[in-house]
Structure 1
Amino acid sequence: MAQAFSALSPDTVMSAVESAGVYPAAEPFALNSYENRVLTFQDDERTRWIAKFYRPGRWENAAIVEEHGFLTELAKAGVPVNAPWRNAAGLSLFEHGGFRFALFPHCPGQAPELENPAHLFALGELLGQLHESSEKSAFSHRPRFDHQSDIKDAEARVLASARLNTQERRAYSSVIERTLKALSNVDWSVGPLIRTHGDCHLGNILGRDEHFTLVDFDDCMMAPAIQDIWMLLPTGEPQSWQVALDEVVEGYEQVRDFPRAQLALIEPLRAYRLIRYTAWLCSRWSDPAFPRAFPWFSDRGYWDQHIRQLEQQLLQLETPHWLA
């Protein structure tokens, strides 16, 4: 995979974009991106674009096309998302030189401020709009949330990486086993699976004032609605958590009922993300972009810290502080 991206030269990028019928006025500029390669450029008419080159081997074409169809559907419904550009034939996924790519309009703006009540209200309303449209159909080719198989897959990737010593491997496998046992006691039925953004953190929300757009649906999946909400809530003391939640709920309920029963899934979903995130770093470490972006991952003390973090999260699964 890393070798494939190393072949994505500026000339290849230019040729690929031109093959789709769009003509850059100058060499594209690379943006911070890890899973895929994302660049920005201006065309001859000074219109700004985003070119996204997909990581080879990660998604089947059908999954990418389904993501693009979802974005187009949302945009037509008036949900603020950054939908892909389509050519005269209606195509949004292109291939050139062995790389698959898509073009998007440039989306200006900054991430929201989670300390700003008006921003939290606006985000709640935006996610309410998203879920009001997304629940009307289902994905056929995108992933379905399955905590058991996903966490077992993550554990296998971590242990296969040979990054842990014998003691760390034992401790890691033990905490994963206990986490899976704890998650088996969770009532997941409170969260019916709908089409979600899947990775709704601050880096994937851009805008100004109280007007925001959701970008980068690369991880869209069938999951509980709360998957798109919990990362916007603080992890500090209960009072600040409740204040932020109240603003998000008020905005969300301008559109639809808030899934309050799914609040019980927040700490399970946090445990799921902690485990999957570390496995992602392990599986991508051969890509030169990752050691540059995440140098702390190679520190000798990382695994002790990660295992302690998972142990602490196990306590939260048993007694979530914000549900006390």
Structure 2
Amino acid sequence: MPPEPRASLTPASISQALRKAAQLLEDYGTGAPRLTAEVLLSHCLGVEKPHLYGHPGQILSPKQSAGFEEYVQQRLDGKPTQYITGRQEFYGISFHVDPDVLIPRPETELLVEEALAHTSETGQILDLGTGSGCIAVAIKSNAPRSRVIATDISGPALRVARRNAVEHGVQVDFVHGDLVDAFRRESLGMIVCNPPYVPLKDLPGLQHELRYEPGVALFGGQDGLEVYRRLIKSAASALKPEGRLLLELGYNGRSSVEALLSDADWHLPIVRTDLAGIDRVLAVRRRS
């Protein structure tokens, strides 16, 4: 278990509280300790970060100090900052997140970019395994004429996704179901999916923070390919001829996923790399 905070954060000014919290977080090995402290204190006070810089001498009330101390302790315990604040930015949009959904990652924005490049030539777009709804809401926000449908096997995740769609004023059709079971043959123009791809065999070595995220959104069976296998097979039926399947890839997952694509059903795939040079998005079209 992580240590209890070794220094009281009370009573203190904003600058003192930030300095003490950042030191605690750094001592425990938390990444970006100063930034984390700033995000947590901003959330605690209900202000934007510039307020912290402009009012370093402001004294925290006992209630504010206790709340900040609780947030810092939660982070020391391994709880992700996004679950403490309940927010995560994705594709320039702020989303509500909680432990019912995966925290959106920056690399997943490549899926949105690839989808938006082809919205004008597709019919219905399905965000499969929508989680927080970040992909569906981002696509609809930037391509308002597109019909976007979002599915998830998790009812609690769909409630989060609906909340985000309402918050950002976009119309997304939500469906509770598994993969493409709810859709007619050749009814979709595009399927976009960030599937669970972490192998269960890797569980013992995972970062502590990942254990807070929903396992159904993280783990893809023993080898990480379980959902890919089922989805690629069913997508070939649900997509219209020349429809597009866009998949996020796990680290070193490209060759294994490409091996699942039959020449009879699919054209040659195109793969995009993320900023770290890792193969991250596979895009492939169904043959006519």
Considering the TM-score relative to the shorter chain, is it more than 0.5?
Answer: no
TM-score by length of 2: 0.28
Higher relative contact order (CA 8 A, sep 6+): 1
TM-score norm. by structure 1 comes to 0.26
Higher strand residue share = 2
